[in-house]
């Protein structure tokens, strides 16, 4: 297990003292808007709300879905009891070959919502091929892991194509004509331009977290894929928000879609949100230290804005005796994956991340999300805090604000 130091070193005994302002940028108008939004949803009695109050009665169960017995068995082995709202509504529509626009907060079970029916379609017709595009390597790897669990023992092939890993291995895997190809736009485009990923062969395509792909500059890459995919295809589009640039993609991507929205509200109801004010009496990192030594901070995800700042803060926390590590764009894929595995397996209990590197983090039982630096937008704030309070559990999101 991890250890906690009960007292700050205050710059003594070899520890490094940080100026609390070094990890934050100037307070901008968008920062003020985020803070006002957080203040508007703070729960005064200190108790998180409960998503169970938003009663949803499923129309289906996993046994009633028209899918193969082996797929149902794998779902059972993964300990899925009842479909989430988006699974309940999307799975039948995908099986009917409908185009989908799925709007849902993170942690609502959308990965299973599209994987389960797409696997079933492959089982019915082995000529089916599915392309899944995601904004980050971590999310692609998470989807690949889920695919392995759902498709176990059914001779369904797939290839994972992401940057930071061996492209020759991925090329060899594509030559086997896998039923599923999961990857990030940059690497998939490289493979397509080399003639090793034949986009015209795919009968279904999924854009997952499309809003985030646009945010981090993949709009032109997405247009590249859409122009080269077959006109006759099934298109599945998942996003937490539909800003104007994402709407551009929608117009060319889906045809007569069914829109499924299970986004009850922008802020997630079972997460208690609060603000930690920083003034001249204590530095930012010392205030963080005082929080992290409290027993209830069992498994903590801390967000910063820059790769440099996140790594620097991670080094400081390790120097203070915390079991912490960071993921960001300057680390190799193997390094990032090792840190994530250590966090999942409780070898470390504090993970620090930038927004881009964190996309796709799906770790159970994160007790707290801490916004050490304010996010760029309110949408990013929602994505950050959605890493806690998952699967109807309660969580806490704290945001540092400097006076």
Long-range contacts of 155-163 (CB under 8 A, 24+ apart): 156/119, 156/122, 156/123, 156/180, 158/182, 159/183, 161/187, 161/188, 161/191, 161/197, 162/137, 162/187, 162/333, 163/137, 163/187, 163/333
CATH topology of 20-51+266-402 equal to that of 55-261? yes
Q: What pLDDT sits at residue 23?
A: 31
The 10 Å Cβ neighbour count of residue 364 is 9
Q: What pLDDT sits at residue 217?
A: 83
Which tens digits make up the pLDDT trace of 157-197?
Answer: 999 999 888 999 999 999 999 999 999 999 999 999 999 99
Query: What integer best gives the mean pLDDT of the chain?
Result: 83
Residues contacting 384, CB < 8 A, separation 6+? 303, 355, 358, 369, 371, 375, 397
Q: Flag whether pLDDT at 92 surpasses 90.
A: yes
**3 state SS of 275:** strand
**3 state SS of 12:** coil
Q: What pLDDT sits at residue 44?
A: 32
Q: Flag whether pLDDT at 28 surpasses 70.
A: no
Contact 363, 344 (CB under 8 A): yes
Which tens digits make up the pLDDT trace of 192-216?
Answer: 999 999 999 999 999 998 888 887 7
Q: Which residues of 79-111 are buried (b: 16+ CB within 10 A; e: fewer)?
A: ebeebbbbbbbbbbbbbeebbbbbbbbbbbbbb
What residue ranges do the domains of the chain occupy?
20-51+266-402, 55-261
Q: Flag whether pLDDT at 30 surpasses 90.
A: no
* DSSP state, residue 112: H
pLDDT-derived band at 106, boundaries 50, 70, 90: low
User: Could you say which of 3.40.50.2300, 3.40.50.300, 3.40.50.620, 3.30.2350.10 is the CATH number of the domain covering 55-261?
Assistant: 3.40.50.300
- Beta-bridge partner residues of 196: none
Residues contacting 128, CB < 8 A, separation 6+? 118, 121, 122, 179, 203, 204
User: Could you say which of 2.30.30.830, 3.40.50.300, 3.90.79.10, 2.60.40.10 is the CATH number of the domain covering 20-51+266-402?
Assistant: 3.40.50.300
């Amino acid at each position: 297990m991890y250890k906690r130091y009960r007292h700050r070193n205050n710059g003594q005994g070899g520890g490094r003292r940080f100026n609390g302002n070094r990890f934050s940028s100037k307070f901008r108008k968008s920062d003020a808007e985020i803070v006002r939004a957080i203040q508007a949803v703070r729960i005064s009695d200190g108790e998180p709300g409960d998503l169970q109050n938003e009663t949803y009665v499923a129309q289906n169960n996993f046994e009633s879905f028209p899918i193969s017995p082996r797929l149902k068995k794998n779902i059972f082995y993964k300990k899925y009891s009842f479909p989430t709202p988006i699974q309940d509504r999307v799975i039948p529509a995908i099986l009917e070959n409908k185009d989908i626009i799925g709007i849902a907060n993170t942690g609502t079970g959308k990965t299973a919502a599209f994987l389960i029916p797409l696997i079933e379609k492959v089982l019915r017709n082995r000529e089916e091929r599915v392309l899944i595009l995601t904004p980050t390597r971590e999310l692609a790897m998470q989807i690949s892991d889920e695919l392995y669990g759902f498709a176990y023992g059914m001779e369904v092939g797939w290839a994972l194509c992401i940057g930071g890993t061996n492209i020759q291995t991925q090329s060899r895997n594509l030559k086997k004509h896998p039923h599923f190809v999961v990857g990030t736009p940059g690497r998939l485009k490289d493979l397509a331009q080399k003639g090793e990923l034949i986009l015209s062969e795919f009968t279904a395509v999924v854009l997952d977290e499309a809003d985030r792909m646009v945010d981090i500059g993949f709009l032109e890459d997405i247009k590249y894929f859409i122009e080269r995919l077959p006109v006759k295809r099934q298109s599945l589009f998942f996003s937490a928000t539909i800003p104007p640039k994402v709407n551009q993609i929608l117009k060319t991507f889906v045809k007569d879609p069914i829109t499924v929205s299970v986004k009850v509200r922008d802020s997630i109801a079972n997460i208690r949100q609060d603000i930690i004010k920083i003034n001249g009496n204590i530095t930012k990192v010392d205030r963080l230290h005082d929080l992290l030594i409290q027993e209830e901070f069992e498994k903590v995800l801390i967000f910063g804005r820059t790769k440099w700042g996140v790594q620097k803060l991670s080094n400081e926390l390790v120097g203070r005796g915390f079991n912490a590590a960071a993921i960001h764009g300057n680390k190799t894929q193997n390094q990032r994956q090792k840190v994530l595995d250590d966090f999942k397996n409780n070898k470390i209990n504090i993970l620090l991340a930038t927004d881009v590197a964190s996309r796709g983090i799906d770790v159970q039982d994160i007790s707290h999300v801490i916004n050490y630096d304010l996010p760029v937008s309110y949408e990013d704030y929602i994505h950050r805090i959605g890493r806690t309070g998952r699967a109807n559990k309660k969580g806490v999101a704290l945001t540092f604000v400097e006076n």
